[in-house]
Amino acid sequence: MTTLAVAVSTLVLAAGCEENVSPVIPTERVFTVWGFLDPTVAEQKARVFRIEPVLEPTRPEPLGATMSVTDVSSGSVTVWRDSVILFPDGFYGHVYLANQDVEFDREYLVELETPQGLGSSARVRTPPRTSPVLTELQNVRFNVKFRVRWDNAPQLLDLKVRYHVAFRSRGSSGAFSSGAVTLRTGVIETGPDGTPTVLIEPTSDLGDILQMLNLQAGRDEMALDSITVLPFVGSEEWRSPTGDFDPEVLVQPGTLSNVDNGFGFFGSGFEDAYVVHLPEDAIENAGFTVR
Amino acid sequence: MEVAAQVAIVRGTVTDAASGETLPGVNVVLLTGDGDLVKGAVTDESGVYALSRIARGVYTLRATFVGFDAWEQSILISSDERTIVNIAMETTQSELGEVVVEGDRRDGIVKVTAGQTTVLPRDIDLVPSPDVSGDLVNYLTAMPGVVSVGDRGGQLFIRGGEPWQNLVLLDGMWVYQPFHVLGFFSAFPSDIISSVDIYAGGFPSQFGGRLSSVMDVRSRNGNKRSFEGSASIAPFITGFTLEGPIDTNGRVSFLTSYRESVIEQGASRLVDDDLPYSFGDFYGKIHALPSQNSQLSISLLTTHDEGAVFEGTAAEPAEEVEWKNTAAGVRYTVLPNVLPAMAQFGISVSKLESDQSVGTSNARSTEIQSVNSNADITYFNGDTTVRWGIFARSLRAESSLGGLFQNVELREEFLTEVGAYVEPEWEVRGGWDIRLGLRAHSFPSKSVSFLEPRLRLVRTGLVNEISLAAGVYHQEIVGLLDRRDAAGVFTAWAAVPDGFSVPSSLHVIAGYQRTLSEALELGIEVYGKELRNLFIPEWTAFPRFTTNLQEADGEVIGGDFRLNYQKGPFGVFVTYGLSRTRYTAQQESLPIWFGTDELEFRPAHDRRHQINVVSRLDTRLANFSTRWQFGSGLPFNQAQGFDGFVLLDGNVDVTTAPGSRRVIFDEPFGGELPTYHRLDVSAERSVQLTGHGLLTLQAGVINIYDRSNLFFLDVFTQNRVDQIPIIPNFGLKLEFQ
């Protein structure tokens, strides 16, 4: 009994009465940044998070970070400014903004730094100017489709198609009303040489356009003026490892990231546009009215 | 003539003459006139013995059991005779406090045979507890290989298996969540227990429907001769028991037990801390002996629990749980006059209602209700005993999960299970006892059937015993829970979700026991469990407790080491459990995230080392007991920090897209919580009062050196919740007869 008591007492003294444990192990990574440089707009923006040791409600205090974007070829540096945004879900977020002229096909260095000199950075090359070209038009009754090849584009993301139409109720002798309907439609294909191409099928989209304009097929008239193809041209590094953008996959830190000593993704891209005017017989074959 | 004589059988029931209580574990032997042993047997859980294949002649039937005077009677066996001899044993008149040394105990911490441990109330009472009466759960957590998440939550992991993989039976009734929200208490106070068989694995064909373990709790019967009762009060719980005869012939008795927590009025004030728990249980049983060769019992159990597992912070809402068990059953045991057999028929209804609320919303609930019926036959034929049975079970499960598992659609489900088993047991040369079983069960509505082979081998020698067990197990009714940390309590019961395979396991156990000296016993058991098609939450960096389920496989290997020393009034047992549990999950994104097809990790209950030291010293002043327990740290998900995630899938305006908070987890379950250890002490003294009263006073201290053992660590907020601090406790129990 005595031996036992001594053994237990020794163990207790050796072990101490409380052991601290930290659920968070220190990391040298400092910032997480989400954004992109857009050479087609003046105002650039990026969402920045400080990598925190505790998951706390966000506060509207300054982030204490300096963000700068350097044009690597010219050496010109632009310092971005911090702004605090209150989102509808009640969280505050830091969005860094700058009026910076971003050139096509140019390399930039994005840097975030604390007053203590800790920082995260990313390098990005903006896409070159593109040269979209209509490469194919299939014009068959009730089966009209066409392809546009996007020469010089590293890749296309987030394709939208805007149909510019005019419409009126059948039997009405009044003027046509004009409108534009934007659909997330079309297919992005990649050619053997890596050049992206988009496939648009107006015949298939007709039903969605009628529905969005509250028109009825066979009763109302709808003329097609033009089609604007609006892909988002992304920089080379803006590639999801799975090919698509599933948040359940991409949420894992590091999965889609080009940020050194940090997390997140900073790319470059812009929304491009190419207007297609279909010939009258193609418009009719697609199911639209010819004015 | 000789052949006819071989089928003669002597059977009967052994009872305590004073109370009419049936006695399991009694040695019953048949001796020749010269005193040579002819046959021997031990009474089963119903107090029934059977000695078969006896040649005609005159014999002495002798029964011995610790605490009782030996019983003897001369009997004449005719050819082809089926004799029933019921035995009533008289209690030994010994002085209070006298220590009885028993050489052939079937219980005790070292007595583990192929994963099976038998626990009696006297074993339970060895372990200090914050109540005058012991509770089964305190003994369970002193066993190696049993991991408890701590003082709160009521969850036990047995040899790597999760709580939903444990089958808990009380008098044959299924009890779905029998452990109270405060870890010192279960639905099984030692006052109502006759014996408990715990199968930590390798359980025989009679049991099924679970992957990991079986706890077969048998309650005692009420006194059929006189009224007895007790009332007790302690800082955590108060309760009473009452039992006695219902008829004047000593054939029918009742037993009731009622307990209710008094934490708010008691323990909370002692530690000046809010312990937000409330629980209680009621047990009632009527036992009858309708004839010389039959027994009938009716049982009812109800329990209720509620409490805050996590009390909440400014940033995170509290997690509160509430559950209720109800079980009722009837059992009829008969020794047929015309057959050398014993038959037991049972039907029971079991129900669990469980709720979880997080803050004021997101309430989740689950309810499972089942009707179980079974017929178990034991056929005695000399050195061969054949157990077989049939069973049917209808089940209703309903859950509302509030988005807990996004890829699981739960609704009200009805299931029926039917099956049968057969398990012959042979005593062969060399002292080997072989049980070879096969269990077949089917769920007709789901068109799934299973065949489960089982094996148990035991070789008992004078000073040592070797045992082996193996078996295959399936579980169609599963518990779904978010087990990214070990403290999760809420379990939703459901049939295996569509698109998932039925979980299964394979057990292999090898054990060795040795009596090293009169005072010292040693037991070692090594085991392996292979678990297939488990459900675990998918890995995600979103800081949420709502996620998708995925399948995983598990592997458990370990060893239990037990040492028991008993010399005079002093006894001590030491247990050490060494275990390694690994889960392997496959998730589509793993190659992208971690560059591997499989993610192998330590689940949250993988406690590598566990030690318990329980001692008892009986003196004239009082009986002193101590328990020191130690557990190495449990794994948990450590984070590198927290940031935010914005899905950049194109022309996203970061000034309007709010994004989500994100956890930058380190390697899955790569962190380890601090070790757990605690010392509890207790002293107990009984005073005989005038008349028929016995007053027991208990004083003790839980966590005497006030170790801050961690219960819950919120990775997101670093909020730490510790287990119970030092608590002195004083108890009082008054018994009358």
* Rounded alpha-carbon distances, angstroms, from residue B295 to A21, B386, B703: 56, 21, 44
Which residues touch B686 (CB under 8 Å, ≥6 apart)? B96, B694, B695, B696, B697
Which residues in chain B touch residue A23, judged by CB atoms under 8 angstroms apart? 636, 638-639, 671, 713-715, 718
B196 and B80 in a single domain? The answer is no
H and E: helices and strands count for chain B? 5, 47
DSSP A225-245: EEEEEEEEEEPTT---TTSS-
B258 and B398 in a single domain? The answer is yes
Say what the pLDDT of residue B487 is. Answer: 56
Q: Which of B538, B565, B646 to mutate to test the interface with A (most CBs of A within 10 A)?
A: B646
Q: Which of B643, B647, B666, B678 to mutate to test the interface with A (most CBs of A within 10 A)?
A: B643
Structure tokens at B164: 């939903």
Q: So where are chain A's domains?
A: 31-128+239-267, 131-235+272-285
How large is the average pLDDT for residues A44-70? 87
B251 and B240 in a single domain? The answer is yes
Q: Which of B611, B616, B651, B679 to mutate to test the interface with A (most CBs of A within 10 A)?
A: B651
* Rounded alpha-carbon distances, angstroms, from residue A172 to A168, A216, A288, A289, B236: 7, 14, 17, 14, 85
Q: Is the pLDDT of residue A189 over 90?
A: yes
Taking a C-beta distance cutoff of 8 angstroms, is the pair A24, A54 a contact? Answer: yes
Q: Is residue B404 part of a domain?
A: yes
Q: Which tops the pLDDT comparison, A33 or A20?
A: A33
Contact yes or no for B647 and A23 at CB 8 A: no
The 3-state DSSP class for residue A115 equals: coil
DSSP A72-89: TTT--EEEEEEEEEE-TT
Which residues in chain A touch residue B638, judged by CB atoms under 8 angstroms apart? 23-25
Which residues in chain B touch residue A53, judged by CB atoms under 8 angstroms apart? 641-642, 718
B384 and B525 in a single domain? The answer is yes
Which helix H or strand E contains B699, and what residues bound it? strand B693-702
Contact yes or no for A245 and B647 at CB 8 A: yes
Enumerate long-range contacts of B431-436, CB under 8 Å, 24 or more apart: B431/B459, B431/B460, B431/B461, B432/B457, B432/B458, B432/B459, B433/B457, B433/B458, B433/B459, B433/B460, B435/B204
Q: Is residue B645 part of a domain?
A: no
Q: Which residue has the tokens 């950075």?
A: A121
Cα gap A70→B590, rounded to integer Å: 36
pLDDT band with cut points at 50, 70 and 90 for residue A27: confident
Q: Identify the domain boundary among B89, B120, B152.
A: B89
Instruction: List all residues of chain A from 81 to 100 with a beta carbon under 8 Å from chain B.
Output: 85, 87-89, 91, 93, 95
B209 and B224 in a single domain? The answer is no
- In CATH, the number for domain A131-235+272-285 is 2.60.40
Say what the pLDDT of residue B453 is. Answer: 98
Which residues in chain A touch residue B540, judged by CB atoms under 8 angstroms apart? 248, 251-252
Q: Is residue B639 part of a domain?
A: no
Phi and psi at A256, nearest 5°, equal -125, 90
pLDDT band with cut points at 50, 70 and 90 for residue A48: very high
B328 and B453 in a single domain? The answer is yes
Cα gap B632→B611, rounded to integer Å: 9
Name the residue among A163, A128, A133 with its Cα closest to residue A274: A133
Overall domain count for chain B: 3
User: For residue A239, what is the nearest residue in chain B, using CA coordinates?
Assistant: B649
Which residues in chain A touch residue B706, judged by CB atoms under 8 angstroms apart? 17
Other C-beta atoms within 10 Å of B688: how many?
10
Say what the pLDDT of residue B380 is. Answer: 86
How large is the average pLDDT for residues A81-97? 90
How much is the ipTM here?
A: 0.90
Size of interface A-B (CB pairs under 8 A): 179
Contact yes or no for B592 and A157 at CB 8 A: no
Q: Measured between CB atoms, does A181 come within 8 Å of chain B?
A: no
Name the residue among B260, B272, B349, B368 with its Cα closest to residue B305: B260
B502 and B370 in a single domain? The answer is yes
Cα gap B386→B384, rounded to integer Å: 6
Can you say how many angstroms the Cα of residue A15 is from the centroid of all Cα atoms in its chain? 53
In one-letter notation, the amino acid at residue B28 is V
CATH at B623: 2.40.170.20
Nearest to A249 among B315, B592, B674 (CB): B592
* Total count of residues recorded for chain B: 737
Write the burial class of residue B96 (CB in 10 Å: 0-12 exposed, 13-18 middle, 19+ buried): exposed
Contact yes or no for A25 and B640 at CB 8 A: yes
| CATH-assigned architecture of domain A31-128+239-267 | Sandwich (2.60)
B571 and B459 in a single domain? The answer is yes
Say what the pLDDT of residue B180 is. Answer: 94
User: For residue B677, what is the nearest residue in chain A, using CA coordinates?
Assistant: A12
Domain A31-128+239-267 shares a fold with domain A131-235+272-285: yes
How far off is chain A from B128, nearest CA to CA, in Å?
16
Phi and psi at A156, nearest 5°, equal -115, 140
CATH at B9: 2.60.40.10
Greatest Cα pair distance in chain A: 109
Which residues in chain B touch residue A269, judged by CB atoms under 8 angstroms apart? 650-651
Q: Is residue B99 part of a domain?
A: no
Domain assignment of residue B36, given as a range: 2-89
Q: Measured between CB atoms, does A249 come within 8 Å of chain B?
A: yes
Cα gap B347→B373, rounded to integer Å: 4
Which residues in chain B touch residue A238, judged by CB atoms under 8 angstroms apart? 648
Q: Identify the domain boundary among B218, B239, B260.
A: B218
How far off is chain B from A82, nearest CA to CA, in Å?
12
Cα gap B112→B467, rounded to integer Å: 9
Q: Lowest mean pLDDT: which of A154-168, A252-266, B593-607, B704-718?
A: B704-718
Nearest to A157 among B592, B650, B713 (CB): B650
Low pLDDT (below 50) residues in chain B: 1-5, 94-103, 486, 546
B346 and B470 in a single domain? The answer is yes
Say what the pLDDT of residue B96 is. Answer: 38
List the beta bridge partners of residue B246.
none
How far off is chain B from A140, nearest CA to CA, in Å?
33
Say what the pLDDT of residue B312 is. Answer: 67
> What is the per-residue burial (b if ≥16 Cβ within 10 Å, else e) of B325-337?
bbbbbbbbbbbee
Whole-number average pLDDT of chain A: 89
pLDDT tens string A218-251: 888 899 999 999 999 999 999 998 888 999 889 9
B36 and B20 in a single domain? The answer is yes
B131 and B223 in a single domain? The answer is no
Q: Measured between CB atoms, does A80 come within 8 Å of chain B?
A: no
pLDDT tens string A99-152: 999 999 999 999 999 998 889 999 999 999 999 999 999 999 999 999 999 999
Taking a C-beta distance cutoff of 8 angstroms, is the pair B488, B472 a contact? Answer: no
B134 and B250 in a single domain? The answer is no
* Rounded alpha-carbon distances, angstroms, from residue B252 to B23, B44, B257, B347: 16, 20, 17, 20
Structure tokens at A25: 């192990």
Nearest to A45 among B642, B654, B659 (CB): B654
Contact yes or no for A57 and B315 at CB 8 A: yes
